[in-house]
Structure 1
Amino acid sequence: MQGAERRARDPGGKTAWKTHIIRQLRHRDHAQLVFQELIQSYNKLLEKSVFLKDLTDKIQTDPIVSPGVHHAARILSEGPPVAVLADPPALQQEIAELHIYNGELAFQACELKKKVQERDEELKRQKCSISFLSTQVDDHGRQCQCLQDETARLDSSNADLKRDYDQLLAQRLLLEERLHEAEEQERELIGTMTKKKALEAEHQNNVNERRKEEMWRRLLGKALRKTVSAEGDIRHRLHTDLCDSSSLEMSGSPEIEKTISRKSRSQSMISLGSSKVMGALRSLFDFRRPQDDCSMDDDWYHHPSVCVICCPPRRALYSKEVHDSEVHAVKFSPTSRTVATGGADRVVKIWGVLGGQLQGQQVLQGSNGGITSIDFDPSGAQLLAASFDGSAHLWRLDSKSSEKLTGHTGKVTAARFKMSTYRAVTCSMDRTVREWDLHKASCVRQIPVPSYCSDVVCSDSYMISGHHDKKIRFWDSRSPHCTHEVTLEEKVTSLYMEPEQTQLLSCSRDDALRLLDLRTMSVHLVFRADGFKCGCDWTKAILSPDASYSMAGSSDGTIFIWNTRTGLLEHSLPGEHSVAVNAVAWSVSGDYVVSVDRGKKAVLWSEY
């Protein structure tokens, strides 16, 4: 290089062209040196771009891209700026920034790789879960198929049962129709036989009358013959006496004739009188004999001994758990020898009152709900019970047969016999009062009422219902409308009408008993006492057989007795019951009282 410079300064100019060439080469070297650095930088950027491309291909699953990546991509895509070509320090600064970005990208690549690994693991877990759930879906599908097959089988079985039920229903309807026809024929036969018996009785009565007349004729003939003979004897005795007397001739004396006729009439009257007395006695016995023959039906009704003067009970004779659950109702039969109880265990039990104890006699089953009330018919041969299963049950105690009175859509709260044995009345929570013909076991009258009915009492001509809207409503059997209303202070829980049907006792939730005069339709007396509280919505209160006392049980188990003449508390009976007393019953004879409570218990009370 130094030699070339000396030759370039040669004054002869022989080496000028060489100098020019050297200058050009230097300029070229200087210019190419810049391009060499640029080429090296470009190669490095190309390597980095290849690396970034591979990295970008690997992290395509991550949507998040660092701003540095965008910046590097922008630099690589835009190519080397003109300033880099012109300014190597700026290019070095840019390369330094690219190194920094490269480190950031490497860090981000590691992070992304870690996330990719985590997501791969999560994907594996999800695949395992999907596989497990697919297995469960398959199992559930098989179970669903089995259930569908079982449903199809049950549908087929139900269809068969429905066909059998329809056939049985058709047979039942046919048998019921035949039964109604048989009952109609039976009634016709009974009517025919009754008419025939009446005709035979009338014929027999005529025959008896003719026989009696013939007997009277014979008796009168005998009496007349005896009178004539007696008169002859008298005349004979007088004639003998007169003949024996020599001082007087008495054959034609008027005094003697009068004496004879007077004595003969006396003897005749004696004979006729004795025969009339005996005839009257015979006719009396003959009259009572056919009556006894005709009173066979009356013997079916055991006419109870009615207590004229009643004394309130004072002593508990017997205590016993009579049911498996709460006892709701109790009722004495008209004979006062048996008592029936019913409760939440869905049965009615008949107990005999013997020797001051309750002895089980019979269990009446068939109800699908708890028993709410019990009533005997006037003969004591039938028992009617209301049930929470929406029906009333009628049991015939002599034949042990039963019938179900259905039609109510709610719980039946009370069921009562009317004065006749083939009519009954029920009330229900479906806000209806129904009248039933027990011969046909069918409803003959339905009365809609404006409120839930808790109790009902009835006679042959009218019905009285107690309601939760605090009203007592009176219904005439000949009219569908309410004839009278009495409003109390709280909802009515029970009603009780005395046998004379002149007084009505009500119990209500205001802890009071009220005695209504049915002749004036007004409240006559109100009975209250310290400690008396009505225990539930079906607490029953009653009157004594002679209507001298009213009785009800309290929520604490005490029984309260009021005098209906004075309106004052007579006395109370605590201690035997520990829970609320639901109902009480007083025997028609007045000898016993039975109380039942919510704790399965019944207590027999008496005056002695």
Structure 2
Amino acid sequence: MQGADRRARDTGGKTAWKLHIIRQLRHRDRAQHGNFQEFIQSYNKLLEKSVFLKDLTEKIQTDRAQSPGSHHAARISPEGLHIAGYKDADTLQEEISDLRCNNGELAYQVCELSKRVQERDEELKTQKSSISYLSGLVEDHRHQCQCLENEVVQMVCSNADLKEDYDQLLSQRLLLEGQLHEAEEEQRELIEGLTKKKAMEAEQQNNINERRKEEMWTLLVKKALRKTVSAEGDVRHRNSTDLSDCSSMEMSGSPEMEEPCPRKTRSQSMIALGPSRFMGALRSLFDFRKPQDMCSVDDEWYHASSVCVICCPPKRALYSKEIHDSEIHAVKFSPKSKMVATGGADRVVKIWDIVGGQLHCQQVLQGCNGGITSIEFDPSGVQVLAASFDGSAHLWKLDSKSSDKMTGHTGKVTAARFKMSTYRAVTCSMDRTIREWDLPKAACIRCISVPSYCSDVVCSDSYMISGHHDKKIRFWDSRCRLCVREVTLEEKVTSLYMEQEQTQLLSCSRDDALSLLDLRMGSVRMVFRADGFKCGCNWTKAILSPDTSYSMAGSSDGTIFIWNTRTGLLERSLAGEHSASVNAVAWSMSGDYVVSVDRAKKAVVWSEY
């Protein structure tokens, strides 16, 4: 049926265009015939007149040849009536000449019109051939249209089937999302319950510890009041007395036996201490510990690390030198000494000691297959953890010169940090993951997927904080993989720095600003900006001073900017030593020195004096 319909349409189409051509030819014939009808009639009349005049002329010439001129009038008298309207032969001859001229012009016009008719016929043939070609194209297009219509019908049917499948999947997804939401709510409730339970247990334990300490201090004060000490008494006698007291307490089984006996410590300045720092200094002043030879007379004095109570911003450069073969990315002070570590694109970590305001190389740590991005000392200062562009983190032990390598990331590792101990570490990478490591085993124990490229990470007692290129700072619960809080900045984050008390966090971002966050409130407390300060790269690192009174960062033009964290104003800027972008700065725990490194392989030691 479809073939018959198609043949009928084809026959009808061919007949239609033939009839159309015939109608056009007839219309053209009528138009041309009407335009030249007058000329044709005039031409026919002229032909008749020319034939008549030709016959008449031949007859007159014949009569003249046969008879003399005197009888001319008599001979032509029978035809006189017919030629009465003519004046004479000359006039007739002139009219004949005019008619011949007109006849020639009309003949010329007829030739021209014939030529135009031939040209039109040629054009008509060309148009017929083009019409045939276009008719073929029309048929092809009709066939293609039919095929496309069939395909559209099939697509509509398949789309309907896919729509049904999509609706089913959507309903399943909504159901699963509801179940997931319920599971998350249950998990959140469980976590909150566990957190409250742990907090209550910790509070109870703290109360017990406080009571024990109060009892111990009460007992010690009573014993001290019962003693009579002479100004010339023997120190050794007092120590032996204290030792016997400690032994008696252990034998009595009293609560005081759980606390070690006091030791001798160096005094620290109490100037401008806040409440938390005052209590920390007080605890360090009356610190107790349990060495194996507890309360021995021959014990050595414990030398605590020098802690800065008041920091002053540096004023001048003591030392400036190119210390690496390529640009330097990271610098870090040891928490226990004036030892400082640097690392950069030359794939090595160098350990320096500051003597007399100058850097003296003590050790070179090798083994990385890529540039160093960050450096971290453990709390004891004997281990160095470095992140590398080779997709791994490297751990060196300075005392034994041994090294471990932690692999598992598929992208460049941008930061590596110790997790409040020497046995755990956290790394972040460009592969959008954060990994927690067991350092003795060099094994990954947890992996957290993050939604954006992670530029830096820091760790506290209960959570990890990561900075990302999607302008967000995320807080992760250390016990699970949940993001418990997000803080959004104006631009992507380049570095994070958390002070020792874990109450403030300093971030640097590509909007040329440093943001100080209050971790207890979870919000930005202050933003530091300055004319001329520009963040030089995606890994520019900013720091806080040991007493958190100042924030510091290097600019792309080599200037170091220092802000006062109490007022938010620019305290000082150090220029003239660096000629390239400053990538990182470090402040010693004693507050005596600041070291800055740049892209031009140079390190500068700064001091207040």
TM-score of the aligned structures, taking structure 2 as reference length: 0.53
For 1:606, the equivalent position in structure 2 comes to: 607
Q: In 2, distance between residues paired with 1:291 and 1:586? A: 32
| Structure 1 contact 377–383 (Cα < 8 Å) conserved | yes
Secondary structure, counterpart of 1:309 in structure 2: coil
Offset of 1:293 from its aligned partner?
Answer: 3.5
For 2:410, the equivalent position in structure 1 comes to: 409
Secondary structure, counterpart of 1:490 in structure 2: coil
Q: Which amino acid is 1:375 matched to? A: E
Offset of 1:278 from its aligned partner?
Answer: 10
Offset of 1:342 from its aligned partner?
Answer: 0.1
| Structure 1 contact 540–584 (Cα < 8 Å) conserved | yes
Alignment of 1:284 onto 2:242? yes
Secondary structure, counterpart of 1:283 in structure 2: helix
Q: Relative to 1, partners in 2 of residues 1:429 and 1:295: Cα closer, same or farther, differing over 3 Å?
A: farther
Q: Relative to 1, partners in 2 of residues 1:408 and 1:314: Cα closer, same or farther, differing over 3 Å?
A: same
Q: Relative to 1, partners in 2 of residues 1:533 and 1:302: Cα closer, same or farther, differing over 3 Å?
A: farther
C-alpha deviations, 1:15-43, integer Å up to 9, x for none?
xxxxxxxxxxxxxxxxxxxxxxxxxxxxx
| Structure 1 contact 395–402 (Cα < 8 Å) conserved | yes
For 2:440, the equivalent position in structure 1 comes to: 439
Please show how residues 330-479 of structure 1 align to structure 2 within 5 Å. 330-479=331-480
Q: Relative to 1, partners in 2 of residues 1:520 and 1:300: Cα closer, same or farther, differing over 3 Å?
A: farther
Q: Relative to 1, partners in 2 of residues 1:587 and 1:294: Cα closer, same or farther, differing over 3 Å?
A: farther
Offset of 1:291 from its aligned partner?
Answer: 4.2
Q: Which amino acid is 2:352 matched to? A: W
Q: In 2, distance between residues paired with 1:458 and 1:295? A: 34
Offset of 1:380 from its aligned partner?
Answer: 0.2
| Structure 1 contact 301–378 (Cα < 8 Å) conserved | no
Unaligned ranges ≥5, structure 2: 1-226, 247-260, 264-288
C-alpha deviations, 1:190-219, integer Å up to 9, x for none?
xxxxxxxxxxxxxxxxxxxxxxxxxxxxxx
For 1:594, the equivalent position in structure 2 comes to: 595
Q: Which amino acid is 2:335 matched to? A: P
Q: Which amino acid is 2:561 matched to? A: F
Offset of 1:459 from its aligned partner?
Answer: 1.6
| Structure 1 contact 330–373 (Cα < 8 Å) conserved | yes
| Structure 1 contact 374–386 (Cα < 8 Å) conserved | yes
Secondary structure, counterpart of 2:306 in structure 1: coil
Secondary structure, counterpart of 2:474 in structure 1: strand
Q: In 1, distance between residues paired with 2:551 and 2:461? A: 24
| Structure 1 contact 373–413 (Cα < 8 Å) conserved | yes
| Structure 1 contact 301–380 (Cα < 8 Å) conserved | no
Q: Relative to 1, partners in 2 of residues 1:570 and 1:291: Cα closer, same or farther, differing over 3 Å?
A: same
For 1:59, the equivalent position in structure 2 comes to: none
Secondary structure, counterpart of 1:420 in structure 2: coil
Unaligned ranges ≥5, structure 1: 1-268
After superposing on structure 2, the runs of 4+ consecutive aligned residues of structure 1 that deviate more than 3 Å are 277-281, 285-296, 298-303
Q: Which amino acid is 2:354 matched to? A: V
Q: Relative to 1, partners in 2 of residues 1:343 and 1:446: Cα closer, same or farther, differing over 3 Å?
A: same
C-alpha deviations, 1:373-418, integer Å up to 9, x for none?
0000000010000000000000000000000010000000000011
Q: Relative to 1, partners in 2 of residues 1:410 and 1:317: Cα closer, same or farther, differing over 3 Å?
A: same
TM-score of the aligned structures, taking structure 1 as reference length: 0.53
Q: In 1, distance between residues paired with 2:236 and 2:353? A: 47
Offset of 1:282 from its aligned partner?
Answer: 2.7
Q: Which amino acid is 1:446 matched to? A: C
Q: Which amino acid is 1:315 matched to? A: R
Secondary structure, counterpart of 1:360 in structure 2: strand
Secondary structure, counterpart of 2:494 in structure 1: strand
Q: In 2, distance between residues paired with 1:554 and 1:430? A: 28
C-alpha deviations, 1:478-504, integer Å up to 9, x for none?
121100000000000000000000000
Q: What count of residue pairs does the alignment treat as equivalent? A: 336
C-alpha deviations, 1:164-189, integer Å up to 9, x for none?
xxxxxxxxxxxxxxxxxxxxxxxxxx
Please show how residues 212-291 of structure 1 align to structure 2 within 5 Å. 282-286=240-244, 287=246, 291=290
- Greater fraction of residues in helix: 1
For 1:248, the equivalent position in structure 2 comes to: none
Please show how residues 35-50 of structure 1 align to structure 2 within 5 Å. none
Alignment of 1:490 onto 2:448? no
Q: Relative to 1, partners in 2 of residues 1:471 and 1:295: Cα closer, same or farther, differing over 3 Å?
A: farther
Offset of 1:304 from its aligned partner?
Answer: 1.8
Q: Relative to 1, partners in 2 of residues 1:442 and 1:306: Cα closer, same or farther, differing over 3 Å?
A: same
Alignment of 1:584 onto 2:582? no
Offset of 1:302 from its aligned partner?
Answer: 7.2
Q: In 1, distance between residues paired with 2:382 and 2:292? A: 22
Offset of 1:337 from its aligned partner?
Answer: 1.6
For 2:511, the equivalent position in structure 1 comes to: 510
Please show how residues 65-104 of structure 1 align to structure 2 within 5 Å. none
Please show how residues 545-584 of structure 1 align to structure 2 within 5 Å. 545-584=546-585
For 2:216, the equivalent position in structure 1 comes to: none
RMSD: 2.7
Q: Which amino acid is 1:400 matched to? A: K
Alignment of 1:527 onto 2:485? no
Q: Which amino acid is 1:559 matched to? A: I
C-alpha deviations, 1:131-151, integer Å up to 9, x for none?
xxxxxxxxxxxxxxxxxxxxx
Q: Which has the larger radius of gyration?
A: 1
C-alpha deviations, 1:26-83, integer Å up to 9, x for none?
xxxxxxxxxxxxxxxxxxxxxxxxxxxxxxxxxxxxxxxxxxxxxxxxxxxxxxxxxx
| Structure 1 contact 464–473 (Cα < 8 Å) conserved | yes
Q: Relative to 1, partners in 2 of residues 1:418 and 1:278: Cα closer, same or farther, differing over 3 Å?
A: closer
Offset of 1:279 from its aligned partner?
Answer: 8.3
Offset of 1:598 from its aligned partner?
Answer: 0.2
For 2:317, the equivalent position in structure 1 comes to: 316
| Structure 1 contact 540–582 (Cα < 8 Å) conserved | yes
| Structure 1 contact 542–585 (Cα < 8 Å) conserved | yes
Q: In 1, distance between residues paired with 2:397 and 2:302? A: 14
How much identity, in percent, do the aligned residues show? 80
Q: In 2, distance between residues paired with 1:535 and 1:438? A: 33
Q: Which amino acid is 2:342 matched to? A: T
